[in-house]
Amino acid sequence: MKFFIDTANLDEIAEAQALGVLDGVTTNPSLMAKEGITGSDNILAHYKRICEIVEGDVSAEVISTDFEGMVKEGEALAALHPQIVVKLPMIADGVKACKYFSDKGIKTNVTLIFSSGQALLAAKAGATYMSPFLGRLDDISTDGLQLIAEIRQIYDNYGFETQILSASVRNTMHVINCAKIGSDVMTGPLSSITGLLKHPLTVSGLAKFLEDYKKGN
Ligand code: G3P
């Protein structure tokens, strides 16, 4: 399973990259705003900085909601850097734009997926990735992991190559359960990645090894 980090924070991206397990980055307009990045020139420059830190795919989201606007914005984003993936919303014009970009060989990520029907449409439009929002479904008492499992089954039934990018991952158990289901990618905060390191027996075991080493030297 690929690990993407879901942030526009350069320090966090660099930390995950330095750990050696990072496969890419996802961003959205809310994450950009959280870092105080506003205005299209600043946003484009920030995407370039992210691409310079990470080796894998970097999802950059359009803010247009009409086909022509999405195509114009998406082409400008794709031209920025070869690692850019054009992120499009799951609305009718987003599906049309996804088909347009996939026909041109430009990578896409269809976002705001909350049903297996939407996942099916994204795959039919040739999306490279599609992002079901696991945590936001859990937030409203709906089983997000059940949706991921359903999409996995549908995609496997027909050999769709669109990658399931489980998004809105909030914690380590989301990561582990996504891996059990066979999600292709997960994207979450840095804590959902570094949290996987933690085990008290690792901490106490290492302390004992070091203590015993010192006794013998
Ligand atoms: O990648 C989608 C993600 O940014 C949404 O996460 O935690 O805002 O639901 P969250």
Q: Which two tokens stand for residue 197?
A: 């390191």
Q: How far is CA 198 from the centre of its chain?
A: 22
Q: Which domains does the chain have, with CATH numbers?
A: 2-216 (3.20.20.70)
Closest CA to 61 of 49, 78, 45: 78
Q: What is the mean pLDDT of residues 57-74?
A: 98
Neighbouring-strand partners of residue 60: 86
Q: What is the mean pLDDT of residues 91-115?
A: 98
- Distance, CA of 114 to CA of 121 (rounded, Å): 12
User: In the chain, pLDDT over 70 holds for what percent of residues?
Assistant: 100
Dist. CA 176 → ligand 1 center (Å) = 17
Dist. CA 204 → ligand 1 center (Å) = 35
- Distance, CA of 125 to CA of 113 (rounded, Å): 14
Establish whether 215 is a catalytic residue.
Answer: no
Atom of ligand 1 nearest to the CA of 139: 9
Q: What is the mean pLDDT of residues 151-169?
A: 98
CB distance 32 to 46 below 8 Å:
yes
Q: What is the mean pLDDT of residues 158-171?
A: 98
The pLDDT-based confidence of 121 (bands split at 50, 70, 90) is very high
Dump pLDDT digits (tens) for 19-58: 999 999 999 999 999 999 999 999 999 999 999 999 999 9
The pLDDT-based confidence of 69 (bands split at 50, 70, 90) is very high
* Mutation pick for ligand 1 pocket among 90, 166, 168 (CB with most ligand atoms within 8 Å): 168
The pLDDT-based confidence of 12 (bands split at 50, 70, 90) is very high
Closest CA to 108 of 70, 52, 150, 158: 70
Closest CA to 121 of 156, 86, 162: 162
In the predicted structure, residue 92 carries a pLDDT above the cut 90: yes
Ligand 1 first shell, C-beta below 6 A: 6, 26, 28, 131, 133, 135-136, 167-168, 170, 187
Q: Which of 87, 96, 104, 180 is catalytic?
A: 87
Phi/psi of residue 39, nearest 5 degrees: 85, 135
Task: Check residue 217 and give its pLDDT.
Answer: 82
Dump pLDDT digits (tens) for 184-198: 999 999 999 999 999
